Structure 1
Amino acid sequence: MNTHKNIALAAATAALASGLALAAPAHAANTGRPVATASAQQGVHIDGYEPDSVVTRGACKGWMNTKKTNGHWFAQGLVQSWSGTDCAMILQRKHNGGAYKFISGQHIVNNRKDSTGYYWDHTGYKSRVCIANLNWNDTSWHCGKGI
């Protein structure tokens, strides 16, 4: 009988703790970025994937990952191509509301994935990934949301 009470108490405690954890996202000090939580819908994902950064052009997809190292945020651009499509990707960044500037080299892929290194993306900075579908003769970059 005590075992059932203990299991029920543990389940109720876990449910209550989960509800409290989801009630308000935590934020890293002085960064404005949400801290990774168990909920994939709040803040930075544990694996670093930023769903709001996704941009697609036909069979080209670009997105960003972010990570925090030694208390500082960094962003990485990624690109993927399929169906024999040539895709180009660059990473841009702006500071304190200024204009976006290129910070990475251009990455061109065909039926594979590639990524930039990680670039500084801390307080006052926003980064975004931009892609072009070369098979469509894109003459401008198409960019995801700045994060």
Structure 2
Amino acid sequence: MNTRKRATLYVVAAGLAGSLAVAAPVQAAPIAHPTASTTVQQHTTVHPDGFEPSSVVTRGNCKAWMNTKKIHGHWYAQGLVRSWNGTACSMMLQRKHGGGWERITSYHMVRNAQDHTGYYWDDRGYKARVCLQNLDWNDSSWHCGKGI
């Protein structure tokens, strides 16, 4: 083997050995255990798309739910409503802070469509929920999802 080929072989071998030596400690690093702060943060994490499954409320061909989003370090909630098969539906977003539930949005009425509210404050000490009414039924009562 000539000197040039041997030198190239040593450089390639040294490069592979160096990359293996660097890779081994990364794979062998211990997995960090959650601290108290990361555990708390894990419990407040929502779905990546913001959808809150426990907020869903359905009345016939009407469905309402909430999305949540963290904006500038604070949580906000949004109400959404969807109607199908010609059904008329109405949705509102309510919020609770210490006392009872209060409506914080206008009524969003749809027929074979969907609509949503803006995002409303839903940070520490507050809960928001979406409420739904099927306008085609002779039931004028509101049905609300779980407060988040």
**Structure 1 counterpart of 2:100, which letter?**
A
The equivalent of 1:71 in structure 2 is 73
* Aligned-pair CA distance for 1:34: 1.4
How many residues are paired up? 120
Give the 3 Å change call, closer, same or farther, for CA 114–33 of structure 1 in structure 2. farther
**Structure 2 counterpart of 1:34, which letter?**
T
Q: Which runs of 4+ in 1 moved over 2 A?
A: 25-28
SS at match of 1:78: strand
**Structure 1 counterpart of 2:88, which letter?**
D
Whether 1:27 aligns to 2:35 is no
Whole-Å separation in 1 of the counterparts to 2:133 and 2:73: 33
| Structure showing greater Rg | 2
The equivalent of 2:147 in structure 1 is 146
Q: For residues 34-85 of structure 1, what are the alpha-carbon distances to aligned partners after superposition, in whole Å with 9 as ceiling and x for unaligned?
A: 12xxxxxxxx101000000000000000000000011100000000000000
Check whether the contact 1:26–1:34 (CA below 8 A) recurs between aligned residues. no
**Following superposition of structure 1 onto structure 2, how do residues 1-147 of structure 1 map, counting pairs within 5 Å?**
26-28=39-41, 34-35=44-45, 44-96=46-98, 98-147=99-148
Whole-Å separation in 1 of the counterparts to 2:139 and 2:65: 18
Whole-Å separation in 2 of the counterparts to 1:73 and 1:91: 15
Check whether the contact 1:64–1:76 (CA below 8 A) recurs between aligned residues. yes
Q: For residues 14-35 of structure 1, what are the alpha-carbon distances to aligned partners after superposition, in whole Å with 9 as ceiling and x for unaligned?
A: xx97xx78xxx7434xxx9612
* Aligned-pair CA distance for 1:108: 0.3
TM-score (norm 2): 0.73
SS at match of 2:136: helix
Whole-Å separation in 1 of the counterparts to 2:125 and 2:116: 23
Whole-Å separation in 2 of the counterparts to 1:33 and 1:100: 24
**Structure 2 counterpart of 1:139, which letter?**
S
TM-score (norm 1): 0.73
Structure 1 or 2: more helix by fraction: 2
Cα RMSD (Å) of the superposition?
2.5
**Structure 1 counterpart of 2:104, which letter?**
I
**Structure 2 counterpart of 1:51, which letter?**
P
